[in-house]
Amino acid sequence: METQEISDLFPLFHNLNTETIEWLVSMADSDNYESEEVIIAEDDWGKAIYFIVSGWVKLENIYSEENVTLEIIGKGGCVGEAGILSTLNGNSRVIAISAVEVLSISAQRFLQILFRDSQIQNRFLKLMVSRVTEYQKYCQFHRQTGKVRLATVLISLADKYGEITEKGIKLYPFLRQDLADLAQLTLEECSQIMNKLEEKKVIYLKSNNDIFYIFNIKQLHHIIGKLGNE
């Protein structure tokens, strides 16, 4: 990738000088994964940080009977950053949900980057603080109604990764089970809410046809505002 592309794509590296970005590129490895391939296995946490150049990945917790999706990350995001400072993700993994291209930097090299550049160091610390804040919100998530939880998830994905088109906000056609996990719903509950949103022409999701649009983002915000205060 060109230095300007990296600067534009990843918030951690926005507006860094060319020399610093070139140094980052020289330390990074480029890898490609197919859908369903594991990017970070349970025993791989802390070895590297991965920057998503294209495609989609999910962070999931591994249980004895099922895997539960905790987060979906797309182009411009990163995974494995927490493992640089801690290896507490031993029961989790990161798996590709589409074809994915990543830039990976080993933990040792990334720590060198943090020590060398105070600007990246400050941004990384802010990223970690934002992760803690998101987790605190997630812990309170279950208190909301299922409809509010799902609307919140859809708005978050749209804000982070949505592509504005004439039809509406276009997103990757995520599996309903992944959306159900994110919203802390059963698959049946998620499908019922999604079907009602489709009936009201708020969204349109057809996984088999690779189509997912949010037609009316304002209605999703209305759901949060109206039901969230009840």
Render pLDDT for 4-61 as a digit per residue (tens, 0 to 9). 888 899 988 888 888 888 888 888 999 999 999 999 998 888 899 999 999 999 999 9
- Any idea what the CATH number is for the domain that residue 17 is in? 2.60.120.10
Query: Residue 133: which domain range?
Result: 3-140
- pLDDT of 230 reads 42
**Is the same domain home to 31 and 65?**
yes
pLDDT in tens, 71-100: 999 999 999 988 887 766 678 999 999 999
Residue 38 and residue 132 share a domain = yes
Higher pLDDT, 87 or 165: 165
- The residue from 107, 124, 140 where one domain ends is 140
pLDDT of residue 209: 65
Q: CB–CB of 60/70 below 8 Å?
A: yes
pLDDT of 163 over the 60 cut: yes
pLDDT, position 2 = 77
For residues 128 and 24, state if they share a domain.
yes
* Of residues 8, 1, 11, the one with CA closest to residue 73: 11
Statement to judge: residues 51 and 160 lie in one domain: no
- Same domain flag for 35 and 133: yes
- In a shared domain, residues 120 and 183: no
Structural domains of the chain, count: 2
Mean pLDDT of the chain: 89
Q: What percent of the chain has pLDDT over 90?
A: 57
pLDDT at 191 over 70: yes
The last residue of one of the domains, among 108, 140, 172, is 140
Same domain? For 74 and 135 the reply is: yes
